[in-house]
Amino acid sequence: MKTASLKAKGRALQKWVAERVATVIGCKHGYEDDCPVQPRLIGQGGTDIVLRGEARRFPFDIECKAVERFDINGTIRQAKANSCEDDRHWLVVWKRNRQAPVVVLDAELFFQMCESLETGEWLQDRPTDAARLEE
């Protein structure tokens, strides 16, 4: 596959994740300077989703991978290195062709999040927007 196609898939995943984060916290997303949630430009260092101002209440620093095969340990190391603030948590979003994106995060954090929920509504089947992400 051509490098341009690989980068386009990465950009599409980053845009989708930025849109979902912005929807969750109720703010704007995009590449404009006034957007608190921005996908990072391909090739720049740091987290793949830039959170500014009000968006920093979203507690995760996100690493996106749109690849068929990925080194989970290396990707987790990269996500941890990019998430260096004490009040932030690393999170990896991985997407393969023709499959919905999945999230990787620390298991203890996942169970802490589950314990903090008051109801089990989040366990019900819900439609996914992953279909909107072009292959």
121-134: per-residue pLDDT in tens?
A: 554 444 444 444 44
Strand partners, 135: none
Query: Which tens digits make up the pLDDT trace of 98-122?
Result: 999 999 999 999 988 888 886 555 5
**For a pLDDT cut of 70, what percent of the chain falls above it?**
86
User: What are the DSSP E strand ranges found in the chain?
Assistant: 37-39, 49-51, 60-66, 89-95, 102-104
Helix (H, G, I), strand (E, B) or coil at 107: helix
How far is Cα 58 from Cα 91, in angstroms, rounded to an integer? 11
The pLDDT assigned to 126 comes to: 40
Domains annotated for the chain, with CATH where assigned, are: 3-132 (3.40.1350)
What CA–CA distance (Å, rounded) separates 89 from 119? 23
d(CA 24, CA 53): 15
98 Cβ contact partners less than 8 Å away, ≥ 6 residues apart: 135
The model carries a pTM of 0.81
The pLDDT score that the predictor gives to residue 117 is 80
State the residue for tokens 């990896």: 92
The stretches in the chain having pLDDT less than 70 are 1, 118-135
pLDDT at 10 (0 to 100): 87
* CA–CA distance, 30 with 120 (Å, rounded to integer): 32
